[in-house]
Chain A
Amino acid sequence: MATRRIISQEKTLLEKDDSIGSSPAANEKSNIAPAVPASVIFKLLAFTLAMIVVPIGSYFATVDTLFKGNSTYAGALAAIMANAVLIGYIVVAMAEDQSDQLEGGSGKPKTDNKKDR
């Protein structure tokens, strides 16, 4: 008797799930697009690589060729190149913000994400 009751209850619950649809999104495709677009990732990776390579690379590339062994000028150039990478990063970040504002009318996914949260 008890087993029969349990079986019947389970069936009704399953039928309810199927008929009412407690998970209405089961038929829809979920949004599996990456949260951070690939272009941003590539920009960040490029700036990380530039930050590592450019200053010290410019030092060793120019200390013997361009500056004839005067390491002071080469060190100053390395510091300047590090700041050039920083300025480039700021410019890219500002441009990204402006592009977001321009896409504000059509950029539905971001606003949807904000509403969901």
Chain B
Amino acid sequence: MADSETAPKFAPFIGMAGIASAMIFGCMGAAYGTAKSGIGIAGVGTFRPDLIMKCLIPVVMSGIIAVYALVISVLIAQDLTPPSPNGGGSNYSLFSGFMHLACGLSVGLTGLAAGYCIGVVGDKGVRSYMLQSRVFVGMVLILIFGEVLGLYGLIVALILNTKSKG
């Protein structure tokens, strides 16, 4: 029942909020990207069904956003352990809790931004690619730059997560 100043009882709550925010916001971005670029595919597929294979690229990229959130959630969840039942309080410090919240928010909200970018670019870019095939290289480059936004959040979250072991 040791409720120390650096490891209070509510510290795991903050860390679990990090896990939840990573998955929730990341999947919100991935779902928006998948749905919006899916609308574009539905518009293109009726006119040029042979282009569907290449038009699925934004959908795959949206899936990667969700994978980033999943990786960070698994990483944080491995650091969380329940307090031992025989009296001893959890040694999960408040510092770790806030840091895990920062991990989750950074990967979740950058995933939301990246998914939004991929959705809009995927919808409009695919429709333009139907009319002008040279748009493809530019579309894929813009999609990759949007995807990299989520990757930056993942890198920051990974670096933050290493600090909890120290």
Contacts and interface: CB of A to CB of B under 8 A. Distances in A.
Interface of A: 35-36, 40, 43-44, 47, 51, 55-56, 59, 71-72, 75-76, 78-79, 82-83, 85-86, 89-90, 92-94, 96-97, 100, 110, 113
Interface in B63-79: 63-64, 67-68, 70-72, 74-75, 78
Interface in B85-141: 140
A46 to B, nearest CB: 12
B43 interface: no
Nearest to A63: B78
A59 B64 contact: no
Interface SS of A by simple majority: helix
A88 B49 CA distance: 21
B31 to A, nearest CB: 15
Given A71-B75, A75-B75, A76-B158, A51 B53 contact: no
A85 B72 CA distance: 19
B61 interface: yes
Interface string B142-165: 000001000100100010011000
Contacts of B75: 71-72, 75
Contacts, number: 70
A108 to B, nearest CB: 14
Contact of A59 (B56, B57, B74, B158): B74
14 contacts: A47-B60, A51-B67, A56-B74, A71-B161, A72-B75, A72-B162, A75-B74, A75-B161, A78-B67, A79-B151, A86-B60, A93-B53, A93-B56, A110-B50
Interface residues of B, number: 25
Contacts of A100: 50
Contacts of A92: 53
A68 to B, nearest CB: 13
B74 A72 contact: no
Contacts of A90: 57, 140
User: What 9 A-B pairs have minimum CB-CB distances, sorted nearest first?
Assistant: A82-B67, A93-B54, A75-B71, A78-B71, A55-B67, A82-B64, A72-B162, A93-B53, A75-B75
A79 B60 contact: no
B81 to A, nearest CB: 14
B53 A96 contact: yes
A69 B16 CA distance: 21
A82 B26 CA distance: 15
A76 B64 CA distance: 13
For B61, B74, B78, the residue with the greatest tally of chain A CB atoms inside 10 Å of its CB is B74
Given A47-B60, A51-B64, A100-B50, 16 more contacts: A40-B53, A56-B67, A71-B75, A71-B161, A72-B75, A76-B158, A82-B64, A86-B57, A86-B60, A86-B147, A89-B56, A89-B60, A90-B140, A93-B57, A94-B54, A110-B50
